[in-house]
Amino acid sequence: MLPILYSFRRCPYAIRARLAIASAQQQVALREVVLRNKPEAFLNVSPSATVPCLTTTDHVIDESLDIMVWALTQSDPEALLQIPEDGLLMIERFDGAFKKALDHTKYAIRFPELDAEDARAEAMHILAQLEPRLAQNPWLFGTRPRLTDLAILPFVRQFAMIDKPRFDREALPATGHWLDRFLSSERFTRVMEKHIPWSPNSKDVVFPAVNPA
Ligand SMILES: N[C@@H](CCC(=O)N[C@@H](CS)C(=O)NCC(=O)O)C(=O)O
Tens of pLDDT, residue by residue over 23-47, are 999 999 999 999 999 999 999 999 9
- For the cut 80, the answer to whether the pLDDT of residue 51 exceeds it is yes
Mutate to test the pocket of ligand 1, among 8, 13, 155 (most ligand atoms within 8 A of CB): 13
Q: What is the pLDDT of residues 59-112, one digit of tens each?
A: 999 999 999 999 999 999 999 999 999 999 999 999 999 999 999 999 999 999
pLDDT at position 172, please? 97
**Distance from residue 50's CA to the centre of ligand 1 (Å):** 4
CB burial of residue 169 (10 Å; 0-12, 13-18, 19+): exposed
Task: With cut-offs at 50, 70 and 90, classify the pLDDT of residue 211.
Answer: low
C-alpha–C-alpha distance, residues 22 and 124, integer Å: 29
C-alpha–C-alpha distance, residues 175 and 74, integer Å: 31
Q: Which residues pair with 195 in a beta bridge?
A: none
CATH of 4-78+192-207, one of 3.20.20.70, 3.40.50.720, 3.30.70.360, 3.40.30.10: 3.40.30.10
- For the cut 80, the answer to whether the pLDDT of residue 212 exceeds it is no
Q: Whose CA is nearest to atom 6 of ligand 1?
A: 50
| Cβ–Cβ under 8 Å, residues 106 and 158 | yes
* Range(s) of the chain covered by CATH 1.20.1050.10: 85-188
pLDDT at position 204, please? 86
* Range(s) of the chain covered by CATH 3.40.30.10: 4-78+192-207
pTM here is: 0.97
pLDDT at position 162, please? 98
CATH of 85-188, one of 3.30.450.20, 1.10.357.10, 1.20.1050.10, 2.60.40.10: 1.20.1050.10
CB burial of residue 40 (10 Å; 0-12, 13-18, 19+): exposed
